[in-house]
């Protein structure tokens, strides 16, 4: 019983000493709320990934795009404008989707630029 009382007293001292060690931040220090940018500064990109160029026929100005699993449906309609770009985000071409779609592939007409095999294809969401 004496050991229990000693252990409880020692525990009470540690608890009391532990709560007294907190200190107030310096007046010149930045608060946690200003250390990070505002939430509105962290908006997602309006460009949505459609897929990657897997073939390019320069003579006909036609590209075949392998669609990603979450390609937006509005980007696949005729009249939409797609962009192909390198992994460094340099735009290489502008594309227009056609009715040619089989499984996970989409045919596109090149309206400007010179796409390359492996370029990612993105859509600028409205």
Separation between Cα atoms, residue 79 and residue 54, nearest integer Å: 21
Closest to 92 measured CA to CA, from 114, 111, 77: 114
The answer to the question of residue 114 being in a domain is yes
Largest CA distance in the chain: 95
Mean pLDDT within 5-15: 70
Domain extent for 120: 46-124
pLDDT at 111 over 60: yes
**Predicted structure pTM score:** 0.64
Q: Is the pLDDT score of 94 beyond 90?
A: yes
Q: Is residue 89 part of a domain?
A: yes
* pLDDT at residue 24, as a whole number: 59
Give the number of domains in the chain: 1
Domain assignment present for residue 80? The answer is yes
């Amino acid at each position: 019983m004496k050991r229990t009382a000693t252990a409880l007293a020692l525990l009470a001292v540690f608890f009391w000493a532990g709560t007294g060690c907190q200190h107030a931040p310096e007046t010149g220090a930045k608060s946690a709320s200003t250390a990070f940018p505002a939430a509105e500064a962290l908006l997602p990109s309006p460009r949505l990934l459609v897929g990657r160029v897997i073939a390019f026929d320069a003579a006909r100005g036609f590209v075949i795009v392998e669609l990603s699993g979450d390609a937006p449906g509005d980007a696949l309609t005729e009249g939409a404008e797609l962009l192909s770009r390198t992994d460094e985000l340099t735009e290489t071409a502008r594309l227009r989707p056609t009715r040619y779609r089989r499984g996970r592939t989409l045919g596109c007409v090149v309206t400007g630029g010179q796409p390359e095999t492996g370029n990612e294809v993105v859509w600028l969401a409205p």
